[in-house]
Every structure is written in C-alpha cells, then in structure tokens.
Amino acid sequence: MTTVLFTAFEPSGDRHAAPVVAELRRRHPEWRLLAAAGPFTQEAGAELVAETASAGVMGLEAARRLQELPALVEQLQQHWPDQGPVVHIPVDSPAAQFRITPAFRDRGAKTVHWVAPKIWARRWDGRLAKLRRQTDALACLFPFEAEWFVSRGLPATFVGHPSFSRAIEAAPTPGLPETEHRVAILPGSRAQEIRDNLPLMLEVMDRLRSEMDVSGVIVAADPRAAQQIESLNQSRYPVRTGDIDGVLAWSSFALAVSGTVTLDVARHRRPGLGIYACGLAFRMIAKILIRGMVLPPNLVLGREAMPELAPISMDPGLVLDAVRTLLNDDQALRAQVQAWDELHTMYEGHDPGAGVADLVDGVLA
C-alpha cells in the first residue's frame, strides 16, 4: 500500500496541503495519507499524527522549533510502513523541511515539494544545490517559478494557487456599515507579524477617521490568531474571525500585510495597499538579501499593481500618507482592479490539488 506523508509547519502550509489530501483521497481511497500538519489537512482526509501547523512563528521561537525537528522525525518514522512506496510532500517552510527531508529520502521516500522556496527572490541563496538533492518533483505557486527552476535543472511545474482555485461563495457579511470607504484590515496569521503590523494599521485608521469617511473598518482575523488580534484591537473596530471572504466582499479597499492575504484581495478584485512593518535588524537584512518587489500579486504580474511598503519601520506616517493618497485617487484604484483581471486569467484553469496529485502519481509511475 502506498503511503503519503505531508509535513506543514504553518497555517498557510496546512491550508495548501488540504486540497492535495482531498484529491489523493478521491483518486486513491486505499492509500494511507499521514500528516504532521493541522486541522485543515485532517479535515481533508489525512491521519494527523502530529500537530505542527499552529500559528506561524518567526525569530527565536522559530529557531527553538527547529531544534525540535529530530524528535519529530523520530515520531514520524514510527509510522513508517513495513512495505510499499512512500511519498513525502513537504509543504512550504523550507528551513524546517530541508532538515527533515533527508531522513525520509534515506529510507527510500520520493519527495514532491509543494510550494517552491523563494530562492529566486534573493540576491544570494545557497539552497539551490540542496533543493536539487532533495527533489523528485517541485510544485510551484507562481507562473514564472517553473521556468526559473527548470532552467536550473529542477523538475518544476506550475500548478496554480489555492487562493485562486476556490470559488468566491461568500456574500458580503450582513450587518456591516455601508460607508463610502469600507476598509478591510488583514494583519496575517503569524504572531510576530501581527504584533508589528496590526497596531500600526489601527493607528492609521484612527487618524483617517478624523478626516475622511472611513468609519467602515473591519479586521479579518485568522482563527488561530483571533485572541492576539482581539487583544491588540481592544474593541476599537469589529473583528470577524474566519470570514475573510465575507469581509473582502463587503470592502472597497484592503490594508494588508504582505503575504498570501494580498492574493485574497486580488481574487476578490479589490484595490489595496500591502505593508510589512518590522524591526531595524530585519529591515537591514531584507535590504541586503531581497531584491525587487515582495507582494505575491506584484511578483506574478511583474509590476507593482498594488502599492507596497515593505519592509518599513513601525511609524504609521508613511502608511497613512499612502492610504490617504490611494483613497483619493479613483483612477489608481480602478487600475488595480484591471490588473486583478489579468491575474485571474493567468491562474484560470489551474487546480493545485489536482496538479500536485498528478506529480505524486508521476513520481510513482
């Protein structure tokens, strides 16, 4: 019997794994699907053998978790089958995945990486050779990635993005204020990012309320970060938990932390601003290592369709000026919406669940 092992270390990875689990369960109901991940993967049909995809962490907490990986590998190997092929699907989080994948390959597992590491985004990155050694197939979120990796000797395939593969079924959440400017605040799911960015976002909205009609402000909270978001918000604005589609359907503008949530904004064809506030040390490192744009929609389009301020200090002044300027520029807002039409076309017809499942079938053929 074939065994497929998923490993995911953040909420986003848990979500990315879920449609692949569902598709493999549909195609191969007799297979054993194991996961070190979270509730989305479990609900999709995998046997959860370790909870590893709680709220995303960074910095010292992330370093501490890396030290726990040998124990996790030992735990997962206790579930190793006595016979039959094994496919390991590491989902994002390359710092962790690169540490555990060799142990599984040493036992004969094939490796299908789901979410390519963003090696292309850095001025220098030594992970390419490591990725070659640890890869049988590489599934890419962004259209340009596959060509980049293939040209460097990796078996890469563009499969699409989960944010664009699911239909928008949510109507605007009822009972929300109908003002001229309806702002969705999207602070992300990682604890440190929320801590650095949400207070700044709230301060910007506080200042704008006194000069523009922006009394319609809603904070969209990831369920696993809801308690932290509520604590920082202190009842200043309504918080909707697990309802990002409903909040975006209601909104006319989004203030979002750089990351996957900006693709949700584009999927809903809403204009917005992407930001990433952080400490001085991280900003200095980012300026040395990272080149060009950072927002996923801009990377895919190859131009700055959504204005981005990343990385920046935690001073709200820069963000305040940018939001004010955008809300007073109807032409710029319309241009963003037109860009999202182009983005939708690029993802049309791509189902990541089916795409990754095809790669799994391929490495076993």
Helix axes 191-209, 226-233, angle to 10 degrees: 30
For 97, half-sphere exposure in the C-beta direction (CA atoms, 13 angstrom radius) is: 29
Q: pLDDT by residue (tens digit) across 23-60?
A: 999 999 999 999 999 999 999 999 999 999 876 555 44
Helix (H, G, I), strand (E, B) or coil at 84: coil
Tell me the average pLDDT across 275-302: 86
Q: What is the pLDDT of residue 176?
A: 76
Using only C-alpha atoms, the chain has a radius of gyration, in whole angstroms, of 21
More reliable by pLDDT, 313 or 287: 313
pLDDT at 333 over 50: yes
**For 163-210, what is each residue's pLDDT tens digit?**
998 777 667 777 777 788 899 999 998 889 999 999 999 999 999 988
Instruction: Match 């996923």 to its residue by tokens.
Output: 296
Question: Residue 212's pLDDT band (boundaries 50, 70, 90)?
Answer: confident
Domains by residue range for the chain, with CATH? 3-160+350-364 (3.40.50.2000), 182-347 (3.40.50.2000)
As a whole number, mean pLDDT of residues 293-316 equals 94
How large is the average pLDDT for residues 306-326? 94
- The pLDDT of residue 289 is above 80: no
